[in-house]
Amino acid sequence: MDDDLTVLDTAYWWGVPSLFRCPVDPDPAACDIALVGVPHSSGNGSTERDQHLGPRAVRHVSAHNRRIHKAFGFSPWERCRINDLGDVPLPEGMDNEFCVERISTYFRRIADAGARPVAIGGDHGITGAIVQGIAGVGSRLTDGRPVALLHIDAHTDSYDLPHWNGAIKSAANWADYLVRQGNVDPGRSLQIGMRGNPRTLTWLQPSYDLGYEVIEMERYREIGLTATCDLIRDRIGDAPVYITFDLDSLDPSVAPAVSNLEAGVTGFTIDEANAMLRAVRGLNVVGGDVVCLLPTKDQPNNITAMVAAHVLFEIVALVAEARA
């Protein structure tokens, strides 16, 4: 009789909603890949703040994605020990700086245990908090090296700011301070998909000054998907790579419930996003995150949460192959 229930393993509306129906175990030493929710939304005070509800929304639908990876030809759930560690506890949720340090400490513990983290946020400030905890001098996960960043987003988040609406290490400047601190190697990193209506004509200059390779949407449309994927692989090379995927890089028709909609310029299709993520297949992918889901603005069928779960699944598969 119990065997008959296996047909429901990927029914998102059935069973206990852990991430991808993985075992729940807070001990990072008990897994190869640590799935973590980061319910943080105080790093981006300029838009709606319900991004802290993202992890719960993705847990609700993610069982649907507990499958084999057809393109890769394997099941990440069978290749590695993958557990849901739960959420980073953030009792000072409205105090961004307390949260950033708690997130960093939490992920440093994961890296020290030898696991590779894959996170669901949360606003984009979580990426700075995670990467400063797992990469650079003293990191077991990266052998003390900074990471190469594959940053897919509609915005650069690389502004040199004293604060963003009061948040010092914020969703607007994490790509800046991670370079200055030595956690990210900009010479190996790419920012892809920047689009929309910028506030100044020099909006990309901070990223250029830091040393990032920037492929804004106009350049992407000019050179095409294949050339973009080639640039990704060539630039990253043998560096440990961390993937951060902002859902607003996708067209609003694909992911309508995000915190910083850029509806005036066509965003990526999910097929384009898949191809760019898969460009790092075979490289040393040490972790990643998906950010900026706004569940309170989602459609009744949870389409944006489902898209977030899919992108998270792609990152899990890439990390699983690298880890194995």
Contact, 323 vs 80, CB < 8 A? Answer: yes
| β-bridge mates for residue 83, sequence order | 34
What's the average pLDDT block by block, 10 residues per block, for the chain (324 residues)? 62 89 97 97 72 96 93 96 97 89 97 98 95 96 97 90 65 91 98 88 94 97 98 98 98 95 93 98 98 96 97 98 92
Residue 240 placed within a domain: yes
Query: Which domain range does residue 85 map to?
Result: 36-323
Q: What is the pLDDT of residue 166?
A: 57
Residue 130 placed within a domain: yes
Q: What is the pLDDT of residue 37?
A: 98
pTM above 0.85, yes or no: yes
| β-bridge mates for residue 86, sequence order | 36
Q: What is the pLDDT of residue 2?
A: 52
Residue 11 placed within a domain: no
Distance from C-alpha of 312 to C-alpha of 20, rounded to nearest angstrom: 10
Residue 17 placed within a domain: no
Contact, 117 vs 19, CB < 8 A? Answer: no
Q: What is the pLDDT of residue 196?
A: 83
| β-bridge mates for residue 243, sequence order | 150, 288
Q: What is the pLDDT of residue 12?
A: 83
Amino acid at 248: D
Residue 4 placed within a domain: no
State the Cα torsion 22-27-31-33 to the nearest 10°.
70
Select from 265, 131, 281, 128 the least CA-distant residue to 193: 265
Residue 57's domain is classified under what CATH number? 3.40.800.10
Number of domains in the chain: 1
Cα dihedral sign, 205-210-213-214: negative
Select from 142, 39, 29, 65 the least CA-distant residue to 314: 65
Residue 26 placed within a domain: no
Q: What is the pLDDT of residue 168?
A: 61
Q: What is the pLDDT of residue 1?
A: 41
Residue 31 placed within a domain: no
Residue 287 placed within a domain: yes
